[in-house]
Chains A and B, each alone.
Chain A
Amino acid sequence: MAINFNQVGFTYQLNTPFATQGLHDVNFTMPEGKFTAVIGHTGSGKSTMVQHLDGLVIPTAGEITIAEQRIVPTTKPKELNKMRAHVGLVFQFPEAQLFEQTVLKDVMFGPKNFGKTATEAEAAAKRALRTVGMAEKYDERSPFELSGGQMRRVAIAGVLAMEPDLLILDEPTAGLDPAGQEELMTLFARLQKERHLTVVLITHQMEYVAQYADHVVVFEGGTVVKEGTPAKIFDDVAWLQEKQLDVPIAKQFADKLATKGVTLDTVLDIDALADQLAEQLGGSAHVH
C-alpha cells in the first residue's frame, strides 16, 4: 500500500490546556511493496506518525492517503476499521498487549477480530508463531510465563497472523540480545521480499537502515527533514552528525580509507565493502 502525507499536522489533546504538538507540516511518500525506514532523534514524532498509518489517530491538519483510503481531519475513526484489517502495527514494546490464557489464543486474537473463523485463525496463528521461531511446545503455555524476548516474538506473531499488506514496526528489536535482533530483522526483510509487503520500520540502528531499507524518511522536531534512498541520506556525514544520527560502520570505514587515498564506490553494508576491498587487493569476491 502506497502512503502519502500531505502537510499533515497532529496535536495531542487538541482544544485542551494540555495540547502538545506531535507533528506539523509532514510531507513524504512511501513506495508500495518497498522497505521504508523511519529514523530520527527520540521525541521527533516517529511513533505519532505511524499511529496515523493504522488510523488509530486522525490528523488534525492536512491529508493522508493510504492505498485508496483518504484520511483528513473530518474522517470518522469508524470509517477506518476496514483499512485496519490490512495494516499490521507492531508497537514499541508490544509485549504489553498480551492478555490471553495461552500463546496460541493470543496470536489468534487479531485474525478472529478481523473476521477469520476459528480454524482459519488457528492456522494463521500457528504459521505466524513458527515464522517468528516459537516452537510448537509453547503454543499452550501462558504468555506471561515466557521470557521477555519470547513475549516479544509472540506479540509480533500476533500482528503477522493478521497477514497484513502493510507491516509497521516501531523499534521491534529494542531491548533484545544482538542475535535476536539480527534474527528478527532478517525475518522482516525476508517477509517483505516474499510477500511483497510494504514495510515501515522505525529504528535507531543505522546498520539495519543501510542494509535493508529501500527508502528512508528522517524526522526531526515533529516534521520530516529529509527523504530519499539510504545512499542519499548517508551521503552527508556532517548533516547526520548535526542531527545526532549514526553513520553506518561500512560508510565510516570507507570514508577513513578515502582520507588515506583508497577510493571506493559508495558502500553502505559491510559485505559490499569487503567485496570492493577484496577486488582492489586482487583477491576473489568473498563468499557471503
Chain B
Amino acid sequence: MFTNMIIGRYMPGNSWIHRLDARTKLILSVAFIFVVFFANNVAGYVVAIAFTLLSILLTGLGVGVFIRGVRPLMFLMFITTLLQLFFVQTGDVLWHWAFLTITTDGVTNSIAVFVRFMLIIMFSTILTLTTQPLAVADAMESLLQPLKKVGFPVAELALMLSIALRFVPTLMDEAESIMNAQRARGVEFNEGNIISRIKAFVPLLIPLFINAIKRAIELGDAMEARGYRGGDNRTKYRVLTWQKQDTIAVIGFIVFTVLLIATKWL
C-alpha cells in the first residue's frame, strides 16, 4: 500500500537533472510554484506544460513514472477541481440544478486549477525523484545560511530535516509490516464504513509511534555517545558545488519565465 508511493522517493540515476546541484533544483522547484501562475491562457499553459515535459524527459526516468506518481493525489485534485466547478459563479450559466450552478468561468477555472496542480506536483516530483533526500536537506541548510545572523537555528533545523527524511522509508516499511501483522489478527483496513476504517488504524498507529519514539531516543543516545555537537564549524562529507550546468538550468528557467509572461500579450 505505502510502498507504491512514488512521491518523496529517490530514484538513482545519472541524468543531466540528477547531476544538477540540489540547491538549483530546490530553488527552481519553489520558483516554479509561483511562476506557473503567470499562465492564464491556452498559450501560457502550453508553454508551462512543454517546459515541464522537457524537464521530465531530461531526468531519463520516463513519463510513466511521473503519471503513476500523481495517481495517489488524484482524489485531492478531483475534489479541488469540483469545488472550483461549483463555487465560481461568474460567467454564463451552463447548467443549473437546485443550488448547484456550473458556469463557463467555473469550467475554465477548474481546468486551470487542475493543470496547475498537476504541473506543480510533477515539477516537485522531479526534485524528489532525482535528488537524494539528504542532499535536499543540505541544500536547504546552505540556502538558509543568511538566517543564522538573526539567531535562527539553521544547523539544527537541517539536522532535524535530514533525520526526518532519512526515516521516512524506514517508517513506511515498518507501517507495512505492522499492518500485515494486524491483518493476520483480523483487522480489515480499507473495508467497512468510515468509523470502522478509522478504528482500524489505531492498532497500526500506536505501535508505529511507540517504535518511532524508541528509535528517536536510541538515535539521540548514539549520536551523543559519539560526541555529536550541533552547529558551528562542522564540516560536510558531501559538499555542494555549483557548476556550469546549474547556471544553464537557471538561465533556462529564466527564459521559460519570460516566455510565460510574454504569452499574456498573445
Residues of A within 8 A of B (CB): 12-13, 16-18, 51, 54, 56, 78, 81, 84-85, 87-89, 91, 94, 96-99, 109-110, 112-114, 144, 158-159, 162
- Look across to chain A and name the residue whose beta carbon is closest to the beta carbon of B186: A113
Q: How far is the CB of B34 from chain A (nearest CB, A)?
A: 30
Contact A17 B61 (CB under 8 A): yes
What residues on B are CB-neighbors of A16 within 8 Å? 4, 6, 68
- Say whether B105 faces chain A, with CB atoms less than 8 Å apart: no
Interchain CB contact under 8 A, A78 and B186: no
- B184-A96 in contact (CB<8A): no
Contacting residues, chain A, for B191 (C-beta < 8 A): 78
- The 14 sampled A-B contact pairs (Cβ below 8 Å) are A12-B3, A16-B4, A89-B184, A91-B180, A91-B184, A94-B181, A96-B181, A96-B211, A97-B178, A97-B185, A99-B207, A110-B186, A112-B186, A113-B186
B186 contact set on A, CB distance < 8 A = 84-85, 109-110, 112-114, 162
CB distance from B132 to the nearest CB of A (A): 16
Complexed CA–CA distance, A12 and B4 (Å): 9
What is the distance, in angstroms, from B40's C-beta to the closest C-beta of chain A? 35
Chain B neighbourhood of A99, CB < 8 A: 202-203, 206-207
A56 touches B3 (CB 8 A): no
Asked whether, in the complex, the Cβ of A110 is within 8 Å of the Cβ of B207, the reply is no
Q: Which residues of B contact A (CB under 8 A)?
A: 3-4, 6, 9, 11, 61, 65, 68, 174, 177-178, 180-188, 191, 202-203, 206-207, 210-211
Q: How far is the CA of A77 from the CA of B65 in the complex (A)?
A: 26
Distance in angstroms between the alpha carbons of A144 and B210 in the assembled complex? 9
Contacts of B177 in A (CB 8 A): 91, 96
Complex: A110 Cα to B68 Cα, angstroms = 36
- CB neighbours (8 Å) of B184 from chain A are 54, 56, 84, 87-89, 91, 159
Docked complex Cα distance between A124 and B260 (Å): 69
Beyond contacts A94-B181, A96-B181, A97-B203: 6 other A-B pairs, Cβ-Cβ < 8 A, are A96-B207, A96-B211, A97-B185, A113-B186, A113-B187, A159-B184
Q: Which residues of A contact B178 (CB under 8 A)?
A: 96-97
Minimum distance in angstroms from A157 CB to a CB of chain B: 12
Q: Which of A91, A113, A162 contacts B181 (CB 8 A)?
A: A91
* Residues in chain A near residue B206, CB distance under 8 A: 99
- Contact A13/B4 with A56-B180, A144-B210 known, Cβ cut-off 8 Å: yes
8 smallest A-B Cβ distances: which pairs? A113-B186, A97-B181, A110-B185, A99-B206, A89-B184, A114-B186, A99-B203, A91-B181
Q: How many angstroms between the C-alpha atoms of A17 and B182 in the bound complex?
A: 28
Cα A34 to Cα B6 in complex, Å, equals 43
- The contact of A13 among B3, B181, B203, by CB within 8 Å, is B3
In the assembled complex, the Cα of A158 lies from the Cα of B202 at a distance in Å of 17
Pick from A17, A96, A158: contact of B185, CB under 8 Å: A158
List of A residues within 8 angstroms of B188 by Cβ = 81
Give B179's nearest chain A residue, CB to CB: A56
Task: Say whether B4 contacts A96, CB under 8 Å.
Answer: no
Residue of A nearest to B6 (CB): A16
Knowing A13-B3, A99-B202 touch, does A109 contact B180 (C-beta < 8 A)?
no
CA distance in complex: A14, B93 (Å): 46
Q: In the complex, are the beta carbons of A56 and B183 less than 8 A apart?
A: yes
Rounded to whole angstroms, the CA-CA distance of A158 and B178 in the bound complex is 14
Task: Output the least CB separation between A46 and chain B (Å).
Answer: 15
Nearest CB to that of A113 among chain B residues? B186
Q: How far is the CB of B128 from chain A (nearest CB, A)?
A: 13
What separation, in Å, do the CA atoms of A16 and B191 have in the docked complex? 25
Contact A17 B11 (CB under 8 A): yes
Cα A20 to Cα B68 in complex, Å, equals 17
Given contacts A13-B4, A17-B11, A78-B191, contact A97 B174 (CB under 8 A): no
Q: In angstroms, how far is the closest chain B Cβ from the Cβ of A151? A: 11
> Which of A17, A56, A98, A162 is the one whose CB lies under 8 Å from B207?
A98
Residues of A within 8 A of B181 (CB): 89, 91, 94, 96-97
Q: Which residue of B lies closest to A101 (CB)?
A: B206
A17 — which chain B residues lie within 8 A by C-beta?
6, 11, 61, 65
CB closest residue in chain B, given A53: B184
Cα of A261 to Cα of B65 in the assembled complex, Å:
66
Residues of chain A within 8 A (CB-CB) of B4 are 13, 16
Cβ B203 vs Cβ A109 within 8 A:
yes
Closest to A98 in B: B207
What separation, in Å, do the CA atoms of A112 and B185 have in the docked complex?
Answer: 9
Which A-chain residue is minimally distant from B202 (CB atoms)?
A99
User: For A85, what are the chain B residues with a Cβ–Cβ distance below 8 Å?
Assistant: 186
Considering the complex, give the chain B residue whose CB is closest to the CB of A116: B186
Query: How far is B176's CA from A12's CA once the two chains are assembled, in angstroms?
Result: 12
Q: Which chain B residue has the least Cβ–Cβ distance from A12?
A: B3
Question: In the assembly, what is the distance between CA of A94 and CA of B207, in Å?
Answer: 11
Q: What is the CA–CA distance of A91 and B184 in the complex, to the nearest angstrom?
A: 9
User: What residues of chain A lie closer than 8 Å to B61, measured between beta carbons?
Assistant: 17
Q: Which of B61, B177, B191 has the most CB of A within 10 A?
A: B177
A87 to B180 Cα, complex, angstroms = 13
What's the least CB distance linking A200 to chain B, in Å?
A: 13
Q: How far is the CB of A202 from chain B (nearest CB, A)?
A: 15
